[in-house]
Amino acid sequence: MHTDFEKNKIKKILCIKPRGIGDIVLSTIILDSLHAFFNEVKIDYLVESFAKQSVEFNPLVNKVLTMEKTEFPLKVAMRVGKEKYDMLIDLWSNPRSAQITFLSGVKYRVGFSYRGRKYAYNIRGTESKGTHHSAEHNLELLKAIDIPIISKKVHYYVSENNKRFASEYFNSNNLSDSFVVGIIPAGGWESKRCDAVKWVEICNAILEKRDVKFLILWGPGDESDADYIKLHLNDKALLAPKTELAAMTGLMSLCKLIIANDSGPMHLSAAMGIPTLGIFGPTNPKAHGPYSPNSDYVIKEDLFCIICNKLVCPYKHECMLDLPVEMVLEKIEKILTLTNLK
């Protein structure tokens, strides 16, 4: 185990976190502490091509290297080796990223002590997944290097182009003076997705309490839910135009509140500091909820099957369909009071 490195010789670090837009953004929790500990260090990221924009505009990240999901690990490792990194931090530590790390030739290789992967690292973090939030699990690798944790902030930044696009959209649709609530029906698993009929119920309940405009933010696979919600909310909602995720985050950044399923956009919203409410059912919000001080989550905890981690619900999706709307309203009021938006 090499923990006796001279910190003034660590000038260039690569962080590996290939996929999961939300997971990549949550991994940025380590950046402030790394920059504080290593003087004038340059920190690069290695991600899969589709996820580049998750860190592309982050001022704490020097450069983003990309790879393809099916690319041969040795080929990726050779590309990494040419960059002459002083340290590599494998925040993924799966069999493939372990191979890339081991073959890279980097002197200090940091990763988790997961079974079958220890060979790849000479500085090893815990083998336990822990009971903390998945963002904070990344901090275990800083502990392995004895780096003081000075911040637990996660970072996501919108490009100037996408800020302009969002501003023009809000102006042309007369949203600039409205209290805009963004709703995001996306979800990587079918079971994570709150049913469209429930979304309409939630939005109508909010409208009884507040004068708001809803902006339905959607991506590939969300079309039918987004169309249903728009149809039933009529002129109380706008359907966002078809965009790439990076442009969608520009629109999100101008919303006063975001309500989202457990998804990548939910994590981006929280990372941008937007008050965010996550709707949970099959996944554990204590580990995967929106990670920011002005965010919260709702979950129907009294269900026997709650936090089942099943991709498809074998019952009637009670975690979403039977979620009390009053609980959602209470959490919204709590968030808005906390953020002085009440």
Per-residue model confidence (pLDDT) at position 342: 61
Per-residue model confidence (pLDDT) at position 264: 94
Give dist(CA 239, CA 220) in Å, integer: 14
Give dist(CA 25, CA 135) in Å, integer: 9
**Closest C-alpha among 54, 129, 284, 268 to residue 192:** 284
Is 124 within 8 Å of 95 (Cβ atoms)?
no
Per-residue model confidence (pLDDT) at position 3: 56
**Residues 287-298: tens digit of each pLDDT:** 999 999 999 999
| 7-144 CATH fold | Rossmann fold (3.40.50)
Q: Half-sphere exposure of 100 toward its Cβ, with a 13 Å CA cutoff?
A: 31
Measured from the Cβ of residue 220, the count of other Cβ atoms closer than 10 Å reads: 8
Per-residue model confidence (pLDDT) at position 336: 93
Give dist(CA 62, CA 56) in Å, integer: 9
The CATH 3.40.50.2000 domain(s) of the chain lie at 7-144, 160-338
Q: H-helix or E-strand containing 219?
A: none
Question: Which residue carries 């078809």 as its tokens?
Answer: 242
Q: Which CATH architecture group holds 160-338?
A: 3-Layer(aba) Sandwich (3.40)
Q: H-helix or E-strand containing 184?
A: strand 180-184
Per-residue model confidence (pLDDT) at position 131: 85
* pTM score: 0.94
Is 14 within 8 Å of 46 (Cβ atoms)?
yes
| pLDDT less than 70: residues of the chain | 1-4, 342
Question: Which residue carries 């002197």 as its tokens?
Answer: 107
